[in-house]
Chains A and B, each alone.
Chain A
Amino acid sequence: AQSVTQLDSQVPVFEEAPVELRCNYSSSVSVYLFWYVQYPNQGLQLLLKYLSGSTLVKGINGFEAEFNKSQTSFHLRKPSVHISDTAEYFCAVINMDTGRRALTFGSGTRLQVQP
Chain B
Amino acid sequence: DAGVTQSPTHLIKTRGQHVTLRCSPISGHKSVSWYQQVLGQGPQFIFQYYEKEERGRGNFPDRFSARQFPNYSSELNVNALLLGDSALYLCASSLGLGGSGNTIYFGEGSWLTVV
Q: With contacts A44-B106, A46-B103 known, is A101 near B45, CB below 8 A? A: no
Contact stretch, chosen from B60-68, B75-83, B93-101: B93-101
**B41 and A107 contact, CB distance less than 8 A:** yes
**A100 and B44 contact, CB distance less than 8 A:** no
Chain B residues, CB < 8 A from A101: 31, 48, 55-56, 97-99, 102
Q: Can you list 10 A-B pairs with a CB-CB distance of less than 8 A?
A: A32-B100, A34-B104, A46-B104, A51-B101, A94-B98, A102-B33, A102-B48, A102-B58, A103-B43, A105-B43
Residues of A within 8 A of B (CB): 4, 32, 34, 36, 42-46, 49, 51, 90, 92, 94, 96, 99-108
How many residues belonging to B are interface residues under a CB distance threshold of 8 Å? 29
**Extra contacts besides A100-B56, A101-B102 (11): CB < 8 Å:** A43-B107, A44-B43, A49-B103, A51-B100, A51-B101, A92-B42, A94-B98, A96-B99, A103-B33, A104-B45, A108-B41
Chain A residues, CB < 8 A from B92: 44, 103
Chain B residues, CB < 8 A from A49: 103
Q: How far is the CB of A93 from chain B (nearest CB, A)?
A: 10
Q: Measured between alpha carbons, how far is A15 from B56 in the docked complex, in Å?
A: 42
Residues of B within 8 A of A (CB): 4, 31, 33, 35, 40-45, 48, 55-56, 58, 90, 92, 97-109
Residue of B nearest to A36 (CB): B106
Q: Measured between alpha carbons, how far is A81 from B36 in the docked complex, in Å?
A: 30
Chain A residues, CB < 8 A from B58: 102
Q: How far is the CB of A31 from chain B (nearest CB, A)?
A: 9
**B98 and A103 contact, CB distance less than 8 A:** yes
**B42 and A105 contact, CB distance less than 8 A:** yes
Residue of B nearest to A31 (CB): B99
Q: How far is the CB of A70 from chain B (nearest CB, A)?
A: 22
**B104 and A32 contact, CB distance less than 8 A:** no
